Chains A and B, each alone.
Chain A
Amino acid sequence: MPSQLSSLPAGAKRAVRSLFTSYLLVVLAVSVLGGWAASPYFLTVRNLGNVLTFAAVVSIIAVGQFFVIVTGGIDLSVGSIAALATVVAAVLMKAGASAVEASVAALAASALAGSISGLLVTKAGITPFITTLAMMSIARGLSYMVQFGSLIGIADERFIWFFSGKTGPASNPIVLFLLIMLLAAFVMSRTTYGRRLYAIGGNAEAARLSGLPVERTTFSVYMLSGLLSGLGGLVLAAQLTQGSSLLAMGYELDTIAAVVVGGASLAGGTGGPIGAVVGGLIIAILGNIMNLLTIPSEPQQVVKGVLILIAVVFISGKGGTRSRRQNRKGPAKKAAGAAEAALAEAASAKVTAGEESSAARAINIEASIR
């Protein structure tokens, strides 16, 4: 590509390059065009509104997931924490609490669950994967215990309006996730906190030796992820007018997929929250198109999986080869890069053998066989 670019005039070169840097928007536009071609209903306000409304929950949680992933961690407990939030809110409102009280309590419980993960990661030194895997189970179990029986209906009008109603023509959940995305984007690009996250994800040791509060900051992203999971849970509870321990199943994978499709590397240090949201939207739009074409859900899952792989190869993979070359000197980083390339395999390897060492070992064996 670059050799072809060199023959173009400077202005055209810049245009082509910026097109590539905003590849996500290109992919988004292509999928919208695809939808328009596939079904006359796709480009209706009603359909797109539905897509965005349903994407709101995953988008909000994906922003929290992004904060964790950019530090080189991962949060598998987001779906369970969201379910916990729906149950806490529903139970409290059923017991007579106001919408505000119930929401605050649900958010506090979510942030607390995230904080516990954060403490375990930073103080006890347990790898994020294992810590949040445990929290995923704990939070799901707790929400079932709090619920004590089958799902709990929500009748509080103010609650339902605030998290899933409309203000004028604008849908509240859409406004909410857009606000959160923009706020997160501002934090990442313009505040010292965002810089710290990129630094820690890029090289935690260098960050520590530059005086950055690595532990405190790492702790905070898990708390933040818990909080945003809880918020996503409240939107979900309002949309479905119920609280249930069975909600938000598999959201951990949906959000990780959104973040990765959005261009972030699981090794940490790269990407942005807008990318994570757009990545989630691309997945949602493709799902919607397939629904409109009445494709059954099983093939849909296959397409979704292939899409994630393509994204990793073409988007993160581009950064992957570069970082692999750069980081010849850092075996841990190399391992992370490979883990990303083999998202699924890495996940199972992580469970059995504890994250980086196993991946590093695989890479080393590969290298020495070469």
Chain B
Amino acid sequence: MREGSETNMANHSFDKDWITLATRPAAGSRGDVVASVHDVCKAYPGVQALDCVSLEIKRGEIHALLGQNGAGKSTLIKMLSGAERPDAGELRVEGRGISFRSPQEAQRAGIFTIYQELSLVPELTVAENIFVADLPRGRLGTVDWRLVRSEAAKAMAWLGFPVDVDAQVKRLSVAQKQGVELAKALHRNAKVVLLDEPSAALPQPEVERLFQVLRSLRDSGFAIVYISHRLEEVESLCDVATVLRDGRKVGSFRVCETSQTELIRAMIGRELAASLVGDTSIGEKKPRLGSGVRGEVALSVRELGDGVAVRGVSFDLHRGEILGVTGLMGNGQSELAACIFGARRGTFGEVRVNGRRARIRKPANAIRSGIGFLPEERKTQGLVLSMSIESNITMASQGRFSRLSVINTGKERRLVDSMIEALHIRTTSSRQAVGSLSGGNQQKVVLAKWLASECGILIFSEPTRGVDVSAKEEMYKLIRDFAANGGAVLIFSSELPEAMFCDRVLVMSRGAFVGELAYDEIDARADAILNLCCS
């Protein structure tokens, strides 16, 4: 044992004063380039993922990385985090050229990446997670748990997440887990923190809190790279935005001098003239998803609940109608969707489909009654990623393509091809694995699955989450077409602009409906929705 180096290291990493960290003059001043990428290229089989992209990440700046799915954002992140190596070009950290052979090397250079799915050990405690790679040793070579706990508590408190450091990470909320990830990065002397869509799984108030944390990190001299699909967030949080498109850099923009429309234009490379996303700002004339024509009642729900997250909810959904359910995330929307679809145990209440009582005990019952459900977790709930597009599309309607359980492949192929064409699913072959498609195309496959089952009622949960701008537009058009052909649509969305497109909006709070607004009322009373949400 080399005692000397051991204690040295301990001094270096554990006597960090979290309070002074907040105001610590970072080694160098604000605006210095910490890390940079110069003319980096990367090709995967058949795709030029990055084509001569350069980027400068500066101290004391929050740098947004924007682009549609497949624009090259994640490839660029992989270069910076050491997960992949560029074919050409150079990475520099504090002016020195460097090449990372592994994520560990990037972390040693001070670059930490926080992925959406987080890399914490759920069974370990907060303190153990923060110190997992370098537990401090006491005199006997045993772990100095007291130091671990007190340092972890200080770090979490400084970041504004006052959690019990002895709690297992699996018991924490997503926001708190992100806090632990940040503490882990800071503890290991991060200079640059990359965050991959951190707000995607957070409820609104938590997002605001995360922003505060990020802002204070920026103010104490850290460099932050923020990847998000939500332009509003970029506007309120970031200083600089770099837009990528098709593996090339479109440009870097100072966010305060650039409008959302300009950023969207840079991302998709064309004007969204009559698009649904182009003009969503409150007060302008807004687009409408539904036609406003209402048929007879398709789905009637009475006193539906599960005794926990959903407390006796009633509503009617008409044919041709697009009904929105909005509210802050975590107020029972996803549970209500699961209750209607029979995917949740212990539900009570009555569901009628086309006037007839439907006994829905499991999803198969709901599907037989003509209900389809597009869950918010596409990859884990909506699709079998290892199967082909074809098998995924016909998964919910097997009976229609088979006799005595033998599949009529010709019939199946014809239907699948017509779906691929009608929904503009971009693929080379229907035999391609669904996992290789982009987010927007995957969502279309889920929709195709329900259209193939010929259901009359579609329940969407966060239909455009993680979907790029132009795919979002296409998705809205498909929803509109479905309703125009007499389908009934129920959209659960925590994104206000999306709810505003609907014919009617129900506002949900703490497991119950607290208000209902018609299409005309939503515009003027957007504030009202927000108030209802928070009631």
Residues of chain A touching chain B, judged by Cβ–Cβ distance below 8 Å, are 2-3, 6, 190-193, 195-196, 198-199, 201-203, 205-213, 269-270, 323, 326-331, 357, 361, 364-365, 367-370
Contacts and interface: CB of A to CB of B under 8 A. Distances in A.
A132 B362 CA distance: 28
A269 B103 contact: no
Contacts of A331: 117
> Size range of the interface on B?
35 or more
B407 A361 contact: no
B142 interface: no
Interface stretch (B50-58, B375-383, B496-504): B375-383
Given A206-B382, A209-B343, A364-B122, 19 more contacts: A190-B406, A190-B409, A191-B405, A192-B398, A192-B399, A195-B394, A195-B398, A198-B391, A203-B380, A203-B385, A208-B362, A208-B363, A210-B363, A210-B367, A364-B121, A368-B119, A368-B132, A368-B184, A370-B119
A213 B396 CA distance: 11
Interface string B453-481: 00000000000000000000000000000
Contacts of A330: 379-380
A203 B442 CA distance: 15
A203 B104 CA distance: 32
Contacts of B292: none
A205 B381 CA distance: 6
Nearest to B394: A195
Contact of B117 (A202, A205, A329): A329
Contact of A370 (B104, B117, B381): B104
Contacts of B282: none
Given A210-B449, A212-B395, A368-B132, A269 B119 contact: no
Contact of A2 (B46, B119, B435): B46
B524 interface: no
Nearest to A360: B122
Interface string B9-53: 000000000000000000000000000000000000110000000
A326 B385 contact: yes
A368 B121 contact: yes
B150 interface: no
A206 B218 CA distance: 41
B456 to A, nearest CB: 15
A203 B396 contact: no
A3 B116 contact: no
Interface string B110-150: 00000111011111000001001100000000000000000
A269 B386 contact: yes
Contacts of B513: none
Given A191-B402, A191-B405, A191-B406, A367 B387 contact: no
Contact of B133 (A206, A210, A369): A369
Nearest to B102: A370
B381 A206 contact: yes
Contact of B103 (A327, A329, A370): A370
B227 to A, nearest CB: 14
Given A2-B46, A206-B384, A269-B384, A329 B379 contact: yes
A54 to B, nearest CB: 34
B228 to A, nearest CB: 17
A193 B398 CA distance: 10
B396 A210 contact: yes
B405 A192 contact: yes
Contact of B385 (A202, A357, A364): A202
A330 B381 CA distance: 11
B379 A209 contact: no
B514 interface: no
A1 to B, nearest CB: 9
Contacts of B492: none
18 contacts: A192-B399, A199-B391, A202-B384, A202-B387, A203-B383, A207-B384, A209-B373, A210-B363, A210-B367, A213-B364, A323-B435, A327-B385, A331-B117, A357-B123, A361-B122, A365-B132, A368-B132, A369-B133
